[in-house]
Structure 1
Amino acid sequence: MNKFQAMEVFVQVVDTGSFTRTAELLNLPKASVSTLVQALEASLSAKLLHRTTRQVTVTSDGAAYYERCVRILSDVREAEESLSRMRVNPSGRLRVGTPTGLSSEILVPALPAFFERYPDITLELDSTDRPVDLVEEGVDCAIRGGPLFDTSLIARRVGIIHFVTAAAPSYLARFGVPQHPDDLARHRCVNYFSAKTGKVHDWDFNRDGERIEVPMPGVIALNDSNAYVQAGLAGLGIIQMTDYLLTKHVEAGRMVPVLPDWVSDPLPVHIVYPQNRHMSAKVRVFVEWVSELFANHPQMRLGARPAFAGQVAEAA
């Protein structure tokens, strides 16, 4: 038995709660995963996992051994990478979860510079507005906007997102320009709903200490940010979206900001990764590169102000 491999397999089984998922993530036959765990238990003379037809759970002995394994595996990888970082560039497959709009508008256009710097990394972008389970789905790290609720993840704040309320000129010509958030009750709005919960997001507005949070009437709701912007461009209603997605459309006259004196709550942007995993060299350089990218982006950098503040919309 390869004790090091058996420990890796055992840790992955505990993380995913599944022999099948572990086999997929480690590219091993399921029978090999089961054999390695059984051999590990035999060598330790201890039962590490409870197995049923529905689930796999860790025993008390297994939980204690798991913590030791995580530390040992982390130390081994750190020792290997401390030697290799000075001789070779980071390499290998790196899977990153990213929101769709941020991926298409900011991340992908900047990737030539990333690959120029790190040519030996193979990048897989899981672009979705759905929050991914990093361990279950084999994602090394993820970029997330908004508050963080998963305490099992390590997070590094790298930017901020501001929102703009806007509409197509054709919509404003037909329905007029709202002057106050209360006016939106008489308008059509494009709603955005959570891919995880299905809940439609309310809109929030702030001005001089006054805060308003209201549900928006609408005939359509979407859960993809790029499709959401397209709905606004089509004149389906007023939208509230990140300024980095709307800037080019506002500057081209395809969208017009409304309610410029009312600001929506900004959201922090973090890169997250599992805390029970050593940060590999490829994850480390990607985190640093994204931090640098956002720090130089006029709308993503920490301390940036919302775009188009003070602009006044006029109906066409």
Structure 2
Amino acid sequence: EGFDLAIRHSDTLPETHVALPLCDTRTLLVASPAYLNEQGIPHTPQDLAQHNCLYYPRGVESPRWRFTTTADNEQVQIRIQGSFATNNSESIRDAALQGLGIAMLPDFSAREALAAGSLQQVLPAWQPVEAFAARLWIVRPWAAQVPRAVTTFTHWLRARFDR
């Protein structure tokens, strides 16, 4: 197959491989303190229409973000606009760190920057809907004998993500 192990963030997994759950994930909206100081803090999803949103492109249609609130399960869909789009969450995170706009990211991409105060969560009462998969997986080819290095690395990854 050409690989020993992969980390996959997906709701659909290959049936021909072994898939082990690594951790559940959440999607967050984040921005740098500098961006929020300059552009203001959005208080509702509708406010995002007035902000530069850093987004993961999905198809050719104009980008939209969907949210639900835990308070009353209200759902909204917002058309967003932004000057930066890429299919790489680390690039979106880096653009947010540079103060370019508000980013929608999986929590594992934003965790360290949030802890350091380099990013702040935006609209914490609203949960993005169907933006990213709900789980990270360890995926490896099926093998009767799994190499010790793969087993050791799998145990290390699971311990690291259990923190």
TM-score (ref. length: structure 2): 0.79
When residues 193 and 253 of structure 1 are mapped into structure 2, their CA distance, relative to the original with a 3 A threshold, is same
Deviations along 1:97-138, one digit per CA (max 9) or x if unpaired, are xxxxxxxxxxxxxxxxxxxxxxxxxxxxxxxxxxxxxx2xx0
2:160 aligns with one of 286, 293, 298: 293
- Confirm or deny that 1:280 pairs with 2:142: no
Amino acid corresponding to residue 281 of structure 1 in structure 2: P
- Report how far residue 293 of structure 1 moved: 2.4
Deviations along 1:196-222, one digit per CA (max 9) or x if unpaired, are x89997533221322334443111112
Superposed CA RMSD in Å reads 2.7
Secondary structure at the aligned position of 1:263 is classed as strand
Partner of 2:66: 204
Q: Distance in 2 between matches of 1:286 and 1:251?
A: 25
1:269 aligns with one of 136, 139, 150: 136
- Confirm or deny that 1:143 pairs with 2:7: yes
Partner of 1:218: 82
Amino acid corresponding to residue 270 of structure 1 in structure 2: W
- 1:32-181 correspondence runs (5 A): 135=1, 138-181=2-45
**5+ residue gaps, structure 2:** none
- 8 Å CA contact 1:185–1:217 kept in 2: the answer is yes
Count how many residue pairs are aligned between Structure 1 and Structure 2.
Answer: 157
Higher helix proportion: 1
Secondary structure at the aligned position of 2:127 is classed as coil
Higher strand proportion: 2
Secondary structure at the aligned position of 1:291 is classed as helix
- Report how far residue 183 of structure 1 moved: 1.6
- 8 Å CA contact 2:110–2:119 kept in 1: the answer is yes
- Confirm or deny that 1:190 pairs with 2:54: yes
When residues 287 and 251 of structure 1 are mapped into structure 2, their CA distance, relative to the original with a 3 A threshold, is closer
Deviations along 1:234-260, one digit per CA (max 9) or x if unpaired, are 221101123333334334433222101
Amino acid corresponding to residue 203 of structure 1 in structure 2: W
When residues 250 and 270 of structure 1 are mapped into structure 2, their CA distance, relative to the original with a 3 A threshold, is closer
- Report how far residue 287 of structure 1 moved: 2.2
Higher relative contact order (CA 8 A, sep 6+): 2
Q: Distance in 2 between matches of 1:280 and 1:198?
A: 42
When residues 149 and 213 of structure 1 are mapped into structure 2, their CA distance, relative to the original with a 3 A threshold, is farther
Q: Distance in 2 between matches of 1:140 and 1:199?
A: 37
When residues 198 and 273 of structure 1 are mapped into structure 2, their CA distance, relative to the original with a 3 A threshold, is farther
Q: Distance in 2 between matches of 1:221 and 1:279?
A: 42
**5+ residue gaps, structure 1:** 1-134, 298-316
